[in-house]
């Protein structure tokens, strides 16, 4: 089952990622890596601030993640990168 789910996650163009309670990436599919321009190996174990720097975009992502982790309620949010706007279910 794990191999099947991994295959599905990697095959979808959608962005699928998981983070621990500190905000470090524990999983990132190819869609995430394509959007960020980073390899999945570069992302794993790192926070958005470590990956993208101390910019408003990183702070927004981390604040949204923290709010959802603390409430336990998924949300659809818009996060604005320096070059585009995307909606995410977190």
How does pLDDT run across 30-89, given as a tens digit for each residue? 888 888 888 988 999 999 999 888 888 888 889 999 999 999 999 888 776 666 656 566
- Determine the Cα–Cα distance for residues 87 and 47; give it in Å rounded to an integer: 20
- Determine the Cα–Cα distance for residues 18 and 25; give it in Å rounded to an integer: 6
How does pLDDT run across 20-31, given as a tens digit for each residue? 989 999 999 988
pTM of this prediction exceeds 0.85 = no
Which residues, at least 6 apart from 73, have a Cβ–Cβ distance to it below 8 Å? Answer: none
User: Residue 88 pairs with which residues in a beta bridge?
Assistant: 77
Alpha helices in 1-90 (DSSP H): 2-11, 30-36, 40-43, 48-52, 56-71
Find, among 58, 68, 90, the residue nearest to 77 by Cα: 90
């Amino acid at each position: 089952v794990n191999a099947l789910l991994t295959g599905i996650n990697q095959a979808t163009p959608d962005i699928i990622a998981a983070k621990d309670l500190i905000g470090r990436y524990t999983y990132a599919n190819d869609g995430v890596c394509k959007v960020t321009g980073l390899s999945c190996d570069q992302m794993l174990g790192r926070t958005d601030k470590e990956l993208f720097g101390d910019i408003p975009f990183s702070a927004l992502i981390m604040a949204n993640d923290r709010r959802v982790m603390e409430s336990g309620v998924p949300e659809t949010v818009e996060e604005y990168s320096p070059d585009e706007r995307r909606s995410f279910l977190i």
